[in-house]
Amino acid sequence: MRRVALGAAVLLTALLLQGALLSRLPGPPDLLLVVVVAFALAEGSGSGAVTGFVAGLLVDVSADHELGRVALAYALAGHVAGLVHDRGGLQRRERSALLPPAVAGAAAVVAVTSYALQGVLLGDPRTTIGAWVAAVAATVGWCVVLAVPVVPLVASLVRRLDR
């Protein structure tokens, strides 16, 4: 119950910050995706997929595309990022500061590519190779940067809850 409340609070805060500040920057940065990656790294692939699905639905309901598209993209990205935790990557290399940005970058590629493939299937005129390349570049870049502060922050919140 407390875990659900923590997830909801962090996701809603991220959503409001994303809309008010980050969405005005070029790219734009994707704070929610980084939050999903952070939960996945702290708790594993199951938590990553569920957190991703919920976060994606929050994005979907206020966006101009079909419902469920970002939910699927984030769920896949959260699952992939969580596999690193499942395999004990975080315990073994807990001190490695490079791991969270690398995982966030990989998750960004998964999310954007999944969203773009859905666009191809749905006949979305926005989905072009050029748009995909630009979106991957911008999303990966920002996710790598945002992972540096966000992943430790979420990890400490989750640890505090476990205590």
Q: What is the C-alpha separation between 85 and 155, in angstroms, rounded?
A: 12
Structure tokens at 104: 């966030």
Q: Per-residue x/- marks for other proteins, 97-136, CB under 8 A?
A: --------------xx--xx-xx--x-xxxxx-xx--xx-
28 preceded by cis ω (within 30°)? Answer: yes
Contact 38, 150 (CB under 8 A): yes
30-89 positions binding other proteins, by CB under 8 A: 30, 45-46, 49-50, 52-53, 56, 58-73, 75-76, 79, 86
Q: What is the C-alpha separation between 107 and 92, in angstroms, rounded?
A: 20
Q: Tell me, what DSSP letter sits at residue 127?
A: -
Q: If binding means CB under 8 A, how many residues of this protein chain bind other proteins?
A: 57
Output Rg (C-alpha) for the chain, integer angstroms: 15
Q: Does residue 151 interact with other proteins by CB under 8 A?
A: no
Which residues here bind other proteins, judged by CB under 8 A? 15-21, 23-24, 27-28, 30, 45-46, 49-50, 52-53, 56, 58-73, 75-76, 79, 86, 111-112, 115-116, 118-119, 122, 124-128, 130-131, 134-135, 138-139
